[in-house]
Every structure is written in C-alpha cells, then in structure tokens.
A = this chain, B = another copy of it.
Amino acid sequence: MQFLLEVVDILTNYVKKTFDRSTKVLDFHHPHQLLEGMEGFNLELSDQPESLEQILVDCRDTLKYGVRTGHPRFFNQLSSGLDIIGLAGEWLTSTANTNMFTYEIAPVFVLMEQLTLKKMREMIGWPGGEGDGLFSPGGAISNMYSVMIARYKYFPEVKTKGMSAAPRLVLFTSEHSHYSIKKAGAALGFGTENVILLSTDERYLKKKKKKPGYVPLFVNATGGSTVYGAFDPINEIADICEKYNLWLHVDGAWGGGLLMSRKHRHKLNGIERANSVTWNPHKMMGVPLQCSAILVREKGILAGCNSMCAGYLFQPDKQYDVTYDTGDKAIQCGRHVDIFKFWLMWKAKGTIGFEQHIDKCLDLSQYLYNKIKNREGYVMVFDGVPQHTNVCFWYIPPSLRGMPDGPERQEKLHRVAPKIKAMMMESGTTMVGYQPQGNKVNFFRMVVSNPAATQSDIDFLIDEIERLGHDL
C-alpha cells in the first residue's frame, strides 16, 4: 500500500505539471532511441523481478517519455484534456476491477450504464428515451455494431446461415465519414467495394438503388466529421432512408456531444429519426479514454443480433432479474467498465456543465477562425464558418506566398505542415494534427476539446506555427 501511495505521488505531480504551461507537451525521441534505453530506462522484460524502487523509476520514465494529452496546448486528437473527476472515476474503476457482462459481479455499474444510456437516448429525442445500447471499446466498434444490427433487422437469417442467405448488400456513407464504416464492411463480410462513399448532394443513393443485383441496406450520416467537423443534413438523408426503407445510422462519435448544448444541438436535427447512433463521450465531452456508446432505437434487436446464450455466464435460474445481465448483447464476452467515470463526471458537472464545456470549445474555435481567416499567410481549407471545433487551414510560409499556383507550389506546400509538425514535436511546445484530403495537399486540422485550453493557447499555437514555419 505504501508503494501505491508512492505511485500516487508520482501521478499527482505529473498531473500538476501537465496543467502548467511551462511544462513541455512531450520530450520526443525516435523509436530506436527509446529501444536503446534512455538514461537506463530499460523496456525489456526478464525472468527475474525488479525491486519496487526500480518499478517506481520505471513509472516516472514512462511518463517522462510519453505525451501529455491533458496539456492545454495538446490539440493533436479529438480526445484531449484530463478531467480530474473522470480520472478519479477511472481509478475507482480499476480498483473495482470487474466486468460488465453480468449484474452479478457489476450491479452498480450495470445500472449506471442503463440509466446513462437512457439519458443519452432522451437527448437524441427518441420517445421516452426508449431503446437499447451499450458502451463499446471505441467508435469504430460502435459503428460496426450499427452495421451488424441493420443486417440483422433486414436479414436475420445471416446470423445462422451467413452472408449467402442475403442478396449482395450495399452500405452507404458520406464521403468524409470515418474509415471505420469501411472497416466494418470489410470485417463483417460486405466487402469495402460495397461500401459506397457518396456526397449527399449527388443523391447517389437513388441511382444505386436501381443498380441490379445490389440491395441497399444501410446509410451512415456523419454528425461531425473527423477532419472537417462537418454535419450531414440528417433530415434529408432520413427522408431518403424512409422512402427506401433503409437503416439510418448517425455517426456522432465526434459531434454527438453537441446534443448537450442548447446553442449547437440543431446541427444534429433529425438525429431522432436515426435507427442507431454512435456517440463518444471520450471525445468532445472530455471523458477519459475509452468511453463510446452505441445507441439503438429498437428494443431487443441488439440482443437478438448477438446473443448466444452461454450457459456458464447467463444462467436463467439466478435469484435476480436476469434481464440486467447485459453481456449477451455484446460481441465481446468480458467488457470493460467504461461507464463509471462518465457517470461520475455527469454527476459532478450536471448536464449544464457539459453544455458549458462544449459551448466554450466552440467559442475558442470561432476565435481561431476569426483570427486567421484574413491573416496573411493563411488559407482556409473549406468555405464558411466551422460547424464544429475543427478549423482546417494551410499555413503559407513567406517563400511560397508570391509563387503562382501549380504543381510545384502544391508540392512544396504539401511538405510544410509535416515539417512544422516535426519541429513542434522536437521542441515539445504544442501538437496539432495535419493530413491531406482528396486532392488537397497537407493542411493543419485544429480541434479543441481540451477543457484546459484558453485563447492564449490558441494564440500560442499560431505564434508557434509562424515561428517554426517562417523560414521554410
């Protein structure tokens, strides 16, 4: 127990320093450097035990060479920040060290999950918060669930007979949707070629409907895309889905949090018409990783799709109401307790606290957008005001500003963001993502979900991009 308290001491010091802007976000080293052993930090495992003192050193080193995702200047992923209540919740979860599959060994957590999912369904707008759901290990798996359930709804015999019992099925998803829909298509036996990317403007769906031998099954609308933060027009898509009797899934992994905000929830208008929704509190709502929910409007279908009735876990002759044993709804057997930290944060903040956090993050993005939209050396990647906290832009170093557009300039510009990012990581001052998209060369994608970030951190990021990129 003394050991545990010494680790706590290391951890609380780490947390304090993480919130201190004079601390570096990271102390970058290449894989081979860490593998060679930094100042005695030996990653290799051996037959003989190490002393507890050495274990404490290992803990310190692990944190030292890691990345401070809670740092106010860490903007690299959709998930960032370090909420102390959420952290305490996660510590309690690991101390309880149990499993969500039965009420028997996780009575409190199972009930918390049920109540929280109901609350989320109410916010989606399903009547009475009815329906079903689960917390799953991440948005990709939540999206995979939606495809599985859609298939079970229309072709339940696939569960027993396999894909040969169904016609050739097609999944539709918006062009900028997350790659996990394609991944689900590959894994579940649809094939990536049968996952059709479409821009909703094209009304591609109608055309596809007529292609012989292909049966449309499922449409994914994105509520907050990964790179642009764009929201598909859910109502329009829902009209098409209703007309053609297709399953409508809304991937709100990133944007679902906006349902908490009276000011911004209109961006998800129509979500109440979806058959299923992915919503990751570990992204926009600052809940520690992992915390992702798949929510389903129809009751019973999740269990219908996945249950195998394993006798050793789900005995029907238990003394309690076994409908509380949720394990057979999942594709997992054991399932990590992801609910408690979220439940505890909700208790501590109230719905109103999440709303304030979300509104503040969107305000900060607006601040960034206003700051750079007409600033010399910046070009926005898409027109108009960002709908989410994503602000996508090119930084044009002075050397490229006078250059005529063309392949040479594009090629040079393509190398700017990676170079700045590499220097950022080496100086350890801040982190922000970049990527190409379609025929667009590498650009920065700034996102804000970190509760610790302020306007001064946005200013710092811009200063840093200019400092590092000025002479490129």
Cβ-defined contact, B137 with A289, below 8 A = no
Chain B's nearest CB lies how many Å from the CB of A99?
Answer: 6
Cβ-defined contact, A319 with B159, below 8 A = no
How would residues 68 to 111 of chain A score, 1 for a CB under 8 Å from any chain B CB and 0 otherwise? 01100000110100101101101110111111000111111111
Cβ-defined contact, B84 with A97, below 8 A = no
Cβ-defined contact, B105 with A76, below 8 A = yes
Q: Which residues of B contact A300 (CB under 8 A)?
A: none
Chain B's nearest CB lies how many Å from the CB of A194?
Answer: 6
Chain B, residue nearest A51 (CB): B348
Q: Which residues of B contact A320 (CB under 8 A)?
A: 30-31
Chain B's nearest CB lies how many Å from the CB of A12?
Answer: 6
**A245 contacts B by Cβ under 8 Å:** no
User: How far apart sit A322 and B177, CA to CA, in the bound complex (Å)?
Assistant: 24
Known: A191-B162, A351-B47. A87 touches B79 (CB 8 A): no
**A211 contacts B by Cβ under 8 Å:** no
Chain B's nearest CB lies how many Å from the CB of A452?
Answer: 12
Q: Which residues of B contact A116 (CB under 8 A)?
A: 45
**A267 contacts B by Cβ under 8 Å:** no
Chain B's nearest CB lies how many Å from the CB of A178?
Answer: 7
> Could you list 25 examples of A-B contacts with CB < 8 Å?
A8-B8, A15-B95, A28-B107, A31-B107, A43-B108, A43-B111, A43-B112, A45-B116, A46-B351, A49-B350, A49-B352, A52-B348, A66-B107, A79-B97, A91-B91, A94-B288, A98-B289, A186-B308, A187-B188, A187-B331, A227-B312, A311-B437, A315-B442, A317-B442, A319-B422
